Amino acid sequence: MVQWFTFLHSAQGPKNRSGIYLVCQSNVGVKNIAEKLESIGFTDWRLIVSNEFKFEWHEHLYEKIKEYVIESTDLPRSMVATKKLLGEARVILCTLSMFTSEKMDRCGITRALAVPEVLIVDEASQVLVNEYMTCFTNFCATLRRVCFVGDDKQRKWAKLLRLPIGDFLSREVYNNELHSCHGITSVNSVRFIDVSDGAEAISSDSTQNVKEIDAVVYCVRQLSAENKDLRVITPYDAQRNEIEKRLREENLKWEETVFNVDSFQGNECDFIIISIVRTILPGFLEDQRRMNVMLSRARKGMIITANKSFLLRHPDLLVTKLAASLETEWIPARDLQTGIKMFNDEVRP
């Protein structure tokens, strides 16, 4: 981030129509960049976010930086009005899809007020090659510099993998080239919960599993009572949204607690709870790159909720191989109500 700060200052030059765009695949990724820029004292930027993402589910994410945020529905058709919104800022933060959207052209941002000259793409490894094509076809006449930031194997996390899973990922993903340093050696730092009666269901063009949500809420309640730093990760937005809703209803911490996999890339937490969701077809779980991201976020402990019999039918999945490698005992979801403790005193920093 320090290098970005220096680069942004040097690249701006005099105030003119040249624009610098920092984009990500995910809205949360963009938000994370914004907060880091603000934390180091650089605020000469504006973040443009879709109203649907911010207002419907995630308004709380933008509280710290709200004075620099512009909702897409507030973008005027008048270039004069848009100029007032931007002020002197020529650094624009947004998702890749927003960057190439008609709204950005119609209000005059990419067309005249902050013409794309420099493009920096974070989470670049999460973007398919064909998704970049619109950027270059739309702005081939103005783009001068493009920087891609990302690592499809998340190698930068080598020193942070302190659980036994570090050895597993080194073997399965990095050809034994990742050398992790983990002070926590107990296999019980990774717990698997068998939600045997869980079933995936389609919801709003996404997938969710209600029984897994019950297990996740139980784990959040227990870890919260122990004052543990935790986050919940799941591959599907429908599951993410419903978990967040349940946590809010049960007066548990829900703000900035539940994320989909892509949104949590680049972050870590002491304790991670993962909801696998799928019980019929693997779907997202077959993407080893994303599974590597999902399984490498925890510093001290990780809980994985899944349908055991489903995973056993798919032995080539990274998460199934992990369970087999650790030879850990699965906890039946029905046993959670007995007050079973997720982590014992072996799980220490």
The tokens describing 347, both together, are 């799980």
Quick check: 113 and 85 in contact, CB under 8 A? no
Question: How long, in residues, is the chain?
Answer: 349
What is the separation of C-alpha 22 from the centre of its chain, rounded to a whole number of angstroms?
16
Instruction: Centre a 10 Å sphere on the Cβ of residue 72 and count the other Cβ atoms it contains.
Output: 18
Question: Sheet harboring 269-275: ordered strands across?
Answer: 258-260, 230-234, 269-275, 298-306, 190-194, 330-332
Backbone angles phi, psi at 306, to 5 degrees: -165, 165
Q: Chunk the chain into consecutive blocks of 10 residues (it has 349) and report each block's average pLDDT, rounded to whole numbers.
A: 51 66 86 86 90 59 83 88 90 92 91 92 78 87 88 49 67 68 67 95 89 97 94 93 94 91 81 96 90 88 96 95 89 91 64
Q: Could you confirm whether domain 157-338 is CATH 3.30.465.10?
A: no
Instruction: Centre a 10 Å sphere on the Cβ of residue 34 and count the other Cβ atoms it contains.
Output: 23
pLDDT of residue 156: 46
User: What CATH number labels 2-148?
Assistant: 3.40.50
Q: Check for a shared fold between 2-148 and 157-338.
A: yes
User: 119 has which bridge partners?
Assistant: 21, 146
Name, in order, each residue with C-beta under 8 angstroms of 206's C-beta and a sequence gap of 6 or more.
236, 237, 238, 239
pLDDT of residue 258: 93
Q: Residue ranges per domain, the chain? A: 2-148, 157-338
- Cα separation of 319 and 324, whole Å? 9
